[in-house]
Structure 1
Amino acid sequence: MTATDLAPIAERAAAPADAPVPTGTDGLTWRPLTRDDVPALTRLVTAVEEAESAPYRTSAEEIDDEFDGAWKDHARDTLAGVDADGVIRAYARVNQPPGDARVVRAFLDGCVDPQWRGRGIGRQVLAWETARGRQRLAASGKDLPGRLAVFVHDNAETTIRLLRASGFTPARYYAEMRRPLDVELPPVDVPPGLRIVPWTPELDEQVRLAHNEAFADHWGSEPRTADEWAQGRSMFAPTWSFVAIDDATGEVAGYLLSSRFEHDWPVIGYKAGYTDLLGVRRAWRGRRLAAALLATVMVAYRADGMDMAELGVDTANQSGAHRLYEGLGYAVFHSSTMFSIEL
């Protein structure tokens, strides 16, 4: 079914007039989140990640990043449950990215303090998120397929049960992979006519456009506006990021952008460089440019004393990325799932 065969998004979203703010939640009061909440929100998210044995910790800088983005309406799209002592015990957040052009998406994010679980708070938080997500989809005015989406790592059994009970079903599966750097690295075989150069701010807009093109045929990917592209870069590692340039045209053929999650290293027990984004434009595919970019960044990671190279992959990616990574020595060490309601 194409977008033109669908009923208007405002009809399919079935948005309620009001999102139901949780009630009867043991004295919690509910209000929107603000940037002043970053320290308290970090404490809450850390408590949840510890309880669920997540192989990472979300830093205060990353949580602060979420308040960036001119398209976001924090007063209407966030919620915090605060106890009598002023401690945030639960939160919810909805994000509808402005660049969506094939599927209009509302991402739902939230959690409940492990000490406050079993009281029905999570169910009500998810109900609010779902209602607000439907409102955001309806208000988008984009008569495209719609999606309410939640990402959850596979250790979060309580959250997964709640999602299933609330009508969400698994839509996509993801794997985190890593490769040791204390063994022989693959050769950096750059395809003829191309050169790999360090990322620079001057190249960044070309990289954004290259990314939008490279991922146009990837499930779940949507074009990123300049505002979206710039958001969430507190962990960005410029010296671990590279761009492949076509010598004949000067065009960006591919790119690899990395992050440095130094706060995770005590949790995982080793130092790692993380490949956030890797893409090759269609005209340059089939020449092992992605392998050359990965080999290049492995050299950079090891030169800076990293023990592992890490990245994430959509396990159903039809570009063969999973096979490429395995062929370069990466192995899965963690998994997560995107649950959704498709509209």
Structure 2
Amino acid sequence: MTEPAGERALPPLSERVRPTAPPRLAHPDVAEWRAVGEPELDAVAELERAISEADHPEYSTTRDDLADELGMSFVDRGRDSIVGLDGSGRAIAWGLVQQPPGQDTLVRSIVMGGVHPKHRRRSVGRLLLAWQRARAEQQLAASERRLPGWIMAFSDDRAAGAAPLFGGAGFAAARFFAGLRRDLAEPIEPLELVDGLSLERLSPERFEQVRTARNDAFRDHWGSQPSSAEQWRAFVSRTAFRPSLSFVAVDPAIDRAVGFVLADVDEDDWARQGFSSSHVPLVGVARAARGRGVASALLAAHLRATAEEGIDFSTLEVDAASPTGAFALYERMGYRPAARETGYTIVY
């Protein structure tokens, strides 16, 4: 395997990262800390519903999502996951630290999880985040890659207290993402693909091509690394994933997907958010096909198909500083800001 650009520019991460000592896991609200196994999944899913209701009612992390994240081959549940249970066995805090295998230009340890709203501002989150940082540093210190190492975290800005919590743990706010919403009652301009490209509704036969296009399209995006075949299989097999509202642009000359808009529909979110919606987790165009109106035509197809199903809104998130000018594109397509998320990092 050829070494990524800049692979020899830095000493190995094993020489640059000195893990901090894990905190003593003791808190009066927590009767027991343990790894997240199958028996704990229901309790963590219930906790995630409470977090969603408080911080971001438009979307939630489901039990299936949790099972996917914890079930990846690169996750050691016994070392990478943790849940704090109260005396009745209810989860009041949980965390996961993942180090995905895609490491072309960056080694990432990504922390996720949260604290029940009723137990916030009682130092549970500070204890959890200290544990996660220590575990992430252990992961980075075990790597011999000569690449930048990041600990990454993301938080909806409506989560009260998140910014000072991350700041106190040594994280810096590094990137901002806008949550956008498109009212499907508004007119949708029909747009067509040009230059001989054809539009298709997504089929399983194109799944792997879309992964390849995704990895190319996101190569120059902040913090992004290639999605592995394992991660992609989990992504396209999710219950919420909706191929019927997802579209690809195909170059007939090579019979390959060169652009994509992928859609989710989770009806369990609708009552909480107060409207029906589809969500677009990924929009991308292979770099060789950019500048030809591909993303606009794909989004228009998605919006029309979603409106035809009687759904109220289409939602998505966008990097506010995207190098592709995506924010302006989405505004032209009728999306409007509705929320904001911050990406936090510790860089080694």
Q: TM-score, normalised by structure 2?
A: 0.93
Does residue 1:332 correspond to 2:332, yes or no? no
Q: Which amino acid aligns with 2:295?
A: A
Contact preservation (8 Å) 2:178, 2:341? yes
Post-superposition shift, 1:21?
4.5
Q: Which amino acid aligns with 1:66?
A: E
2:11 alignment counterpart: 7
Q: Which amino acid aligns with 2:10?
A: L
Contact preservation (8 Å) 1:236, 1:258? yes
2:32 alignment counterpart: 29
Counterpart-to-counterpart distance in 2, 1:281 and 1:248: 15
Single out whichever of 37-46 and 331-340 deviates more from structure 2.
Answer: 37-46
2:294 alignment counterpart: 289
Residue in structure 1 matching 2:131, options 128, 133, 140: 128
Alignment of 1:182-197 (within 5 A): 182-197=185-200
SS at match of 1:292: helix
SS at match of 1:67: helix
Counterpart-to-counterpart distance in 1, 2:234 and 2:144: 23
Contact preservation (8 Å) 2:154, 2:343? yes
Q: Which amino acid aligns with 2:16?
A: R
1:147 alignment counterpart: 150
1:226 alignment counterpart: 229
SS at match of 1:178: strand
Gap runs ≥5 in structure 2: none
Residue in structure 1 matching 2:285, options 258, 280, 289: 280
Counterpart-to-counterpart distance in 1, 2:199 and 2:56: 38
Contact preservation (8 Å) 2:261, 2:283? yes
2:216 alignment counterpart: 213
SS at match of 2:71: coil
Q: TM-score, normalised by structure 1?
A: 0.95
Post-superposition shift, 1:133?
0.4
Residue in structure 1 matching 2:254, options 225, 237, 249: 249
2:47 alignment counterpart: 44
Contact preservation (8 Å) 1:145, 1:342? yes
Alignment of 1:301-312 (within 5 A): 301-312=306-317
Single out whichever of 325-334 and 53-62 deviates more from structure 2.
Answer: 53-62
Does residue 1:163 correspond to 2:166, yes or no? yes
Contact preservation (8 Å) 2:155, 2:342? yes
Contact preservation (8 Å) 2:31, 2:87? yes
Post-superposition shift, 1:2?
4.3
SS at match of 1:254: strand
SS at match of 2:8: helix
Counterpart-to-counterpart distance in 2, 1:338 and 1:281: 24
RMSD: 1.7
- CA 1:207–1:167 in structure 2 vs 1: closer, same or farther (change >3 Å)? same
Counterpart-to-counterpart distance in 2, 1:23 and 1:328: 50
Single out whichever of 288-297 and 102-111 deviates more from structure 2.
Answer: 102-111
Task: Please give the per-residue CA displacement for 1:316-340, whole angstroms capped at 9, x wherever unaligned.
Answer: 0010100011111111101100011
Gap runs ≥5 in structure 1: none
Post-superposition shift, 1:194?
0.6
- Percent identity reads 37
Q: What is the total number of aligned residue pairs between the two structures? A: 342
Counterpart-to-counterpart distance in 1, 2:60 and 2:279: 14
Counterpart-to-counterpart distance in 1, 2:219 and 2:27: 45
